[in-house]
Structures are given as C-alpha cells and as structure tokens.
Amino acid sequence: MGEPESDGAGIMLGFVLLEEAALPDDVKLINAVRALGLGEIGIGEREVDTASWSIGDLSLIVGLMRAPHPDAPKMAIGPFSPMLEDEGPPAHLIVTLLGAEGSRVDRTALIIRIVTAVALATPSVAAMRGEGAMFYRTDVLAQFVSGTPRGELPTEVAIDITIASEPDGRVSLLTHGMAAYDREEFLVTAPFDDAEDAFELANNMVHWVLVAQPDKQFPTGDTVGRTAAERIEVQRVDSPVPDAPQVIRLDM
C-alpha cells in the first residue's frame, strides 16, 4: 500500500482504557495476534507494570498506568465512543510499537491492529491509536479490524468522525485526521433522520481516497455519490475548526 516513507517514523503509539489495572494476558494476546493476522508472538518478558513481546521484526512494549487516562473524558466523541463518567476508567495502558515501516497508511493500519489485539487481551473498555482524536469501544474495534483484510486500513476507526447539530433539523459530520495523508477533511451534512447515511457517505469518501483510489481528486463543482443515481455537489468551505484548512463539503 504505497511506497515506504523515509520520515523516521518507526515508533507508533496507542492507548487502552481498562476496567481494572492489568497487563495483557499472554495466552489471550497470542490468540488475538494470530486471529488478527499479525503473525507469531511468544511469551512476553515482564517487569513491574511493563511487558514486552516480539512479533517478527516488531517490538511491542506495554506500560500499565494505574490511574485514569488524563485526557479521555475531555476527548471528542463519535458514534462508536464509550460513554465515560467522571474521570473515566481507573487505569490505562500505553502501547508502544517499535520497528513499523512503510507508508503512513501501512503504519496506521498496523498500529490499529496491534492496539486492538492488546485491548482484546485485557479487561478493556476502549482503545485508540496515538494520533487519534477519540477512543473506540473495544467491541467496535474488534469488529472493524477483524473485518478488514490484513494490511488494509480499517477506515471506520482510522479516521475519526464527529457529529454536530446544524440549523433546520440537520446534522454535520466532520472527519479528523485526513491531513496526515495530505488530503482534505470531509464535512457531510444531512437531515437528522439521515445521520446514519451521512456517516456511511463520509466513511465511503475516506475509504475512496485512502484505500481504493489514493490519487483521486474532487474538483469543486463535480458531483459524487454512493451510487450512480446519487449526485452530491463538491463544495469547499471554511472548516468548523478554527484556523484549520478548508474542507470538502457534501450536502445530502
């Protein structure tokens, strides 16, 4: 998936929210790594609140923090985010992956798979990649990651989407994270009752430009859609996020 980038980004991070303080169980982690197509992993080495494993040429280090994640309750919320109260879960993990290579898409796809495996091997509530804007429930991560071919980007949990109210009973969905791939963010608006369709359109656009046709461009005034009959005009407007670049707006 793309040519390797020589930006020195061999370190990838992720975070896992825990119902109770615990490092990954070796057997559960081995099973999760195998089930997600990541290869073979041996029994880890453990110290106090730290464990490490080798997965091929990769090194996985997991650190246990016996305190709530300091930012989790204040982070953005999307359709698949956990509902957190007060400070959030009582403990969390910092997941560090060393040796990741390839394009940014390759590396993001890898860290999401690794974080999902760690989450499945612990009493987890939710998890996220380090560059993300929000946490995703563990069951949602497992569903989307396991349903995506190994090496392909699970766009539903790789690009964050937030939802906001708009005038006249409409909603808007905004993507977060496209700039990391030198692409514009998408802003999709729709009637409130069509919010699910708006999410599907937003994710389809993300998948289109990051997976299916990375060179695809969307000139202003052109039309796009999920079917041949759906024709939605491509607009460019100021982002709802202050000081952010313009976004591609699609009004359903």
Q: What are phi and psi of 96, to 5 degrees?
A: -120, 125
Tell me: pLDDT of 210 over 70.
yes
Residue 149 falls within a domain, yes or no?
no
The verdict on 122 and 183 lying in the same domain is no
The answer to whether position 5 is within a domain reads no
- The amino acid sitting at 249 is R
Domain of 125 in residue numbering reads as: 11-143
Between 5 and 101, the higher pLDDT residue: 101
Would you say 159 and 76 are in contact if contact means Cβ atoms under 8 Å apart?
no
Among the listed residues 194, 198, 127, the one whose alpha carbon sits nearest the alpha carbon of residue 158: 127
Structural domain includes residue 80: yes
Assess whether 101 and 185 both reside in one domain. Answer: no
Task: Say if CB 2 and CB 106 are below 8 A apart.
Answer: yes
Same-domain pairing of 190 and 234: yes
Q: Quote the pTM value.
A: 0.90
pLDDT at 60: 97
Residue 106: band (very low, low, confident or very high) from pLDDT cuts 50, 70, 90? very high
For residues 116 and 163, membership in a common domain is answered with: no
Statement to judge: residues 138 and 22 lie in one domain: yes
Indicate whether 152 belongs to any domain. no
Mean pLDDT on 92-111: 95
Pairing state between β 91-98 and 247-251:
unpaired
Residues 108 and 226 in one domain: no
Same domain, 54 and 137: yes
The answer to whether residue 222 is domain-embedded is yes
**Boundary-marking domain end, from 117, 143, 169:** 143
Is 1 a domain residue? no
Mean pLDDT of 124-141: 96
Task: Report how far Cα 238 is from the mean position of its chain's Cα atoms.
Answer: 24
| Residues 103 and 169 grouped into a single domain | no
139 and 165 share one domain: no
Pairing type for strands 124-129 and 91-98 reads unpaired
Same domain, 83 and 180: no
Please indicate, yes or no, if residue 150 is contained in any of the structural domains.
no
To the nearest whole number, what is the mean pLDDT of the chain?
93
Report whether pLDDT(41) > 80: yes
Does residue 151 belong to any structural domain of this protein? no
How many domains are there within the chain?
Answer: 2
Residue 4 pLDDT grade (very low, low, confident, very high; cuts 50, 70, 90): very low
Stretch 93-110: mean pLDDT: 94
In this structure, are 181 and 122 located in the same domain? no
Residue 234 and residue 119 in one domain: no
In the predicted structure, residue 172 carries a pLDDT above the cut 80? yes
